[in-house]
Structure 1
Amino acid sequence: MSAAGPSEATLRRLERASGSLATQAVARMDDSLPWFRSMPADQRSWVTLVAQAGIASLVEWCRHPGRPPRLTGEVFGAAPRELVRAVPLKQTVDLIKVTVEVVEERLGQVVEPGEAQALRLAVLKYSREVAFATAHVYASYAENRGAWDARLEALVVDALVRGERPEELPGRAAALGWAATAPVLVLVGHTAPDVDDHHSAVRRAARSLRADVLVGVHAHQLVVVLGGLPDLGPVAEKVSAEFGPGPVVRGPAVDSLAQAGDSAAAALAGLRAAVAWPGAPRPVDADALLAERALDGDPLARTALAQRVAAPLEAAGGGVLDTVRAVLGSGGNLEASARALFVHPNTVRYRLKRATELTGLSATDPRGSWTLQVALALSALDGGRSLWS
């Protein structure tokens, strides 16, 4: 300090009283800050250390006025970085305010005669420096945490895209705030060419509906993992608007993040095959693209068609499969199909209803008839010749 600053005798007295002042400051915090009383004992002890280090740093700051302040390390280095995560910035400001108030109130106990005003001015200036240091600590933490979260999120999404299931996957996601259990689904599409920050836009859309979300960008593909709500349909609809031009494919819902790789695999296969359905809705379910996926060489889609479509129709009996074949062959003409089968048109309608119940597909619907045709053709190619006998 200048010649008008506190004397060395005052600074020594302040230095000796630093422990007592810190204890009194913590006691004041306990009385005036309800949230402080609920803090764990270890965090309260860290606050005491920071307060004591702050007072000691004040003494050094007064002794060496020409030295640039290094408050970030001198003061906040007294506590682990966990304290930044445990205490929000606003509460830290409250702690500093209480500590400064206690020091100002106890000045009369430590100053030499006639130096109270000089020390009070020093405390005022020093508290401003501490405020700047506090802002720096929290800004640095936020920046580092943001960069770490981005890397961690990229690792999680990349593992899902690759079909990996590392044991640490749930823990990594939990560190990012992921709390969802079931259901979980994956959306994939192309990135928007005029958007620099796809992550923020997608997060805003998903979190506006209170959904958990993870976002990854792979080349020009945008991969979004959604969870946290019983019905993710509305979230998928809203998030789809943040994708670039082209199809957006929604993978099937799975029971947990550990199984989200299955949803991602189906969605990515659907994205590759979606070019074969130009009029697909957006988003479109990966299961609605089973026919296109199978023709594109997706073995999972081919297996799904065999198990969900061909096999149930074969096992149905009662002419259900023959009726489906006839209707497909007649272009959906029920009367012509009835004549070919020598049955009443109502019998055709009944059998088609049964086929729809078994497969979820209607032979009179354009998409349904297309998927049925592909499923039955692939089944025959796989050796199911008896289906056509």
Structure 2
Amino acid sequence: MPQPEDDPGSAPRAAGATNAGATPPDPATVEKLRSTIGSLSTATLKQLDADLPWYRGLRPDERSALGMVAQKGIASFVNWYQKPVSPEWVLSDVFGTAPTELTRSISLQKALQLIRVVVQVVEDHVPFLAPAADQAPLREAVLRYSREVAFAAADVYARAAETRGSWDTRLEALVVDAILRGESSDALRSRIAAVGWKSQARITVMVGSAPSEPNVGFLNELRRVTGRLAEDVLVGIQGERLILVLGGVRDPAKAYPRISELFGDGAVVFGPEAESLVAASSSAQAAFAGLTAARAWPGAPRPVSSEDLWPERVMSGDDTARRSLVRTIYRPLLAASNGLEQTLSAYLTLGHSLEATSRSLFVHANTVRYRLRRVCDVTGWDPLIPREAYVLQTALVVGRLSAPPAPPVAANGAPGTGNGRAARAGSIDKAPPVPLGRPSAL
């Protein structure tokens, strides 16, 4: 049904939509059009099946929905031809409740192909619908009406895209928030599938400050850049922080610096790689812990790995970083033996001097060099690089603090319960008194 022209919720009036002053159509032609709606609809469906291969491949319910749209379009044209007023009712009168189903079934390009076929069928039947004098006005009306229907179809798809985009953004935000909270549930897996995530390897979380005024253009640029460097990306903006969940990064050495350029001012930290998106919570927690501690390292690169910030994270109270240092550096050094822990400790204590370390350990300087290379092989950190030597020194400190204290040694060398001085004092206190002899006679 046509909507009132003063309805504030109606669609905008299209240019040239009215036909004020035009000659009214012949009532006989209008009646002939009404009587042939069924036959025109049948002819349209046959033509769709013959001309559009994709139409033949649709499911029966989808074909039925599109057929209903075509039939409503023809019936609506008859009403519009009789009284060509403002076409703001075309959207609801032609498509009705079909927009959602229509946009799910076919693309906008296919919808326009469908409209073209409908118009062609009506035009082909014009000689049978009107006398010769009324055929030209009828053809012109068909063309004008097809334009309005095409605009209405574009409006349907635009609104559906906006709705779908808003829903996808909210769903994406829910997935990012669940990852940060460490949620692992069937609901999270369902949401991950809904956002279209496919990557199953090289998943990491990158955090930093967001631009001062992020807008739609910024998000589009962010997705465009990350789309070339990674297989999947999830974007989250929480206050002043920008969070990226990256999956399938093709070349991290080149991708991370390029992506970090899209962040705001300040440090940008990326966490360790996770096995799956559900397990990415540990990467996110490490990245946020590194972002908090990054200000303690003014010369940190951008971006910087959360593992490179282990010392600063330990000092800020991050227990995860402390356990990582013990697990990946301190214990492997002790297990390697061959004096690696002692050599590294002496080297760091003596000011990174090979000669002083060799004299302290009574070994050749080449032996010290060999052991330091072994430290790099075992831990992955090179003590000859000042920053990595700092990480190794922090690992020695937290490793010794986490180790159980050594049992005290008694005076005779056996394990005891107190220090040597207390043991000796106890033995003196418990010694029997020396008997006093009788006074000698003078």
TM-score by length of 1: 0.92
1:242 aligns with one of 259, 262, 265: 262
Task: Tell me how many residue pairs correspond in the alignment.
Answer: 387
1:216 aligns with one of 236, 246, 254: 236
Matched, 1:163 2:182: yes
Q: Partner of 2:420 in structure 1?
A: none
1:305 aligns with one of 310, 325, 331: 325
* Contact 1:50-1:78 within 8 A present in 2 as well: no
Q: Partner of 1:93 in structure 2?
A: 112
Q: Partner of 1:322 in structure 2?
A: 342
- Any residues of structure 2 matched to 1:318-357 within 5 Å, and which? 318-357=338-377
Matched, 1:228 2:282: no
Q: Partner of 1:32 in structure 2?
A: 51
CA distance in 2, matches of 1:200, 1:97: 33
Residues 266-315 of structure 1 show CA distances to partners (whole Å, capped at 9, x for unaligned) of 11111111111111111111111112112111121111111111111122
Q: Partner of 2:392 in structure 1?
A: 372
Greater radius of gyration (CA): 2
Matched, 1:257 2:284: no
Worse overlay, 305-314 or 348-357: 348-357
SS state at 1:208 partner = helix
1:99 CA drift (Å):
0.8
- Any residues of structure 2 matched to 1:1-389 within 5 Å, and which? 4-66=23-85, 68-79=87-98, 81-111=100-130, 114-193=133-212, 195-197=214-216, 198-209=218-229, 211-385=231-405
Residues 242-282 of structure 1 show CA distances to partners (whole Å, capped at 9, x for unaligned) of 01111111111112111122211111111111111111111
SS state at 2:236 partner = strand
SS state at 1:215 partner = strand
Structure 1 stretches lacking a partner, 5+ long: none
Q: Calculate percent identity across the aligned residue pairs.
A: 45
* Corresponding letter in the other structure for 2:364: H
CA RMSD of aligned residues (A): 2.3
1:319 CA drift (Å):
1.0
Structure 2 stretches lacking a partner, 5+ long: 1-18, 410-442
The structure showing larger relative contact order (alpha-carbon pairs under 8 Å, at least 6 residues apart) is: 1
Worse overlay, 221-230 or 283-292: 221-230
* Corresponding letter in the other structure for 2:396: L
CA distance in 2, matches of 1:178, 1:236: 20
1:218 CA drift (Å):
1.1
Change (3 A) 1:40 1:235: farther
* Contact 2:229-2:250 within 8 A present in 1 as well: no
1:29 CA drift (Å):
2.9
* Corresponding letter in the other structure for 1:375: A
CA distance in 1, matches of 2:74, 2:55: 20
1:237 CA drift (Å):
2.2
Residues 84-139 of structure 1 show CA distances to partners (whole Å, capped at 9, x for unaligned) of 13322222111111110111101233336743333222212211211221121111
Q: Partner of 2:425 in structure 1?
A: none
CA distance in 1, matches of 2:140, 2:260: 58
SS state at 2:207 partner = strand
Change (3 A) 1:15 1:300: farther
* Corresponding letter in the other structure for 1:219: G
CA distance in 2, matches of 1:17, 1:298: 78
SS state at 2:301 partner = coil
Change (3 A) 1:361 1:228: closer
